[in-house]
Amino acid sequence: MSSKGAAQTPLACPSAQPDMAGADVLGVMERSEDGKLRLSYVTAPVPVTPELLEKTGPVPPTEVLRFSAPCVESKCQHFDGSKCQLAARVVAGLGIDVSHAPPCKLRKTCRWHAQEGVEACLRCPQVTTHISVDDPHLKAVAGVG
Ligand code: SF4
């Protein structure tokens, strides 16, 4: 069903680069009680500033933080013309990580959620944008292997 004349809300990428237009902090990677790194989602807008990015040094900001930004669709290597293949690989290749969809300010516009539903949210917290470990499986999911 389409709403005639209504502008479509642009979808947002939940694993964006901090220098993308409209980037905002989605969350901070934190070690959970079970030893796994998971995203702790921020609830308010956190603008991306040079000062914020400097604070993560010496590691890349994308290893410590996750950013959202408007999806650039065909300008992104993961977009196949209709779908985000990164979201598809996350759902197909990663195990469920949490028992409930995390509280997340992005949900209404998130491309991963719009495409894959709650299955993306149940896997999302374990995703880091920058993969520093030499893990062939994670790299294959990220499309950098
Ligand atoms: S996949 Fe779900 S939890 Fe992750 S950013 Fe999108 S809406 Fe939030």
> Per the structure block, which two tokens stand in for 23?
């980037």
Distance 43 CA to ligand 1 centre (A): 13
Side-by-side strand order, sheet with 12-16: 12-16, 65-70, 24-31, 37-41
Q: What is the model's pTM?
A: 0.91
Q: Is the pLDDT of residue 126 over 90?
A: yes
Measured from the CB, is residue 107 less than 6 Å from ligand 1? yes
Contacts 24+ apart (CB under 8 A), 49-52: 52/25
Distance of alpha carbon 53 from alpha carbon 61, whole angstroms: 6
Answer yes or no: is the C-beta of 124 below 6 A from any ligand 1 atom: yes
List pLDDT tens digits, range 44-82: 999 999 999 999 999 999 999 999 999 999 999 999 999
Using the mean position of ligand 1's atoms as its centre, give its distance from the Cα of residue 20 in Å: 18
Q: Each residue of 90-120: pLDDT tens digit?
A: 999 999 999 999 999 999 999 999 999 999 9
Q: Whose CA is nearest to atom 1 of ligand 1?
A: 121
For the beta carbon of residue 113, count every other beta carbon within 10 angstroms: 22
User: Which ligand 1 atom is at minimum distance from the Cα of 101?
Assistant: 3
Residue 84's nearest CA partner among 40, 52, 124 is: 124
